Amino acid sequence: MIRTYTEESRRWLVQAQDEFADADELRRRGRFYLALFHFQQAAEKALKAYLYLTVRSREEVFTTHSLDDLLQKVRAVDRDFRGIKKARKLDEYSIRSRYPDSLPGRIPSRYFDDPEEAEEAMRLAKEVVELVGRKIEGIAP
């Protein structure tokens, strides 16, 4: 079944919102390494939801997993995304929070133990997910 860009955009946004909620639950439980990864994932999926709706190109959406790259793409479409540039910091967690070989001599599940770091990641991801949510509701028929 081929979905319209609007339908696909909404599917990606719902996944981003659900992933954000799950990441925040992990943060509250002190599972920071998992929360950090899922905050990055929520922001990534939200930006891809916006690109589906505005750029209307599956190729544009799937060329990267980098928030920095995705933010550049959405800022080219909409200046309002310039205010969330700091969200690219979440890219640090896509690999480092999951794989022991990304932190020589460390274990991600033990290394990421700072509640303030997780709180900052939550705020950054929330800005992205909420902005995309407002944009999609304002654009999608």
Share above pLDDT 90 across residues of the chain, in percent, rounded to a whole number: 70
Task: Kindly tell me if the per-residue pLDDT of 43 is higher than 90.
Answer: yes
Task: Kindly tell me if the per-residue pLDDT of 138 is higher than 80.
Answer: no
Give 59 or 100, the one with higher predicted confidence: 100
CATH architecture of 5-139: Up-down Bundle (1.20)
pLDDT for res 1: 72
Give 54 or 129, the one with higher predicted confidence: 129
Alpha carbon 51 to its chain's center: 13
pLDDT for res 4: 85
Q: Global pTM?
A: 0.92
Instruction: Encode the chain in three state secondary structure.
Output: CCCCHHHHHHHHHHHHHHHHHHHHHHHHCCCHHHHHHHHHHHHHHHHHHHHHHHCCCHHHHCCCCCHHHHHHHHHHHCHHHHHHHHHHHHHHHHHHCCCHHHCCCCCHHHHCCCHHHHHHHHHHHHHHHHHHHHHHHHHCC
Residue spans per domain, the chain:
5-139
pLDDT digits (tens, 9 = 90+) for 15-39: 999 999 999 999 999 999 999 999 9
pLDDT for res 141: 56
pLDDT for res 23: 98
What confidence tier does 49 reach under pLDDT thresholds 50, 70, 90?
A: very high
pLDDT for res 140: 56
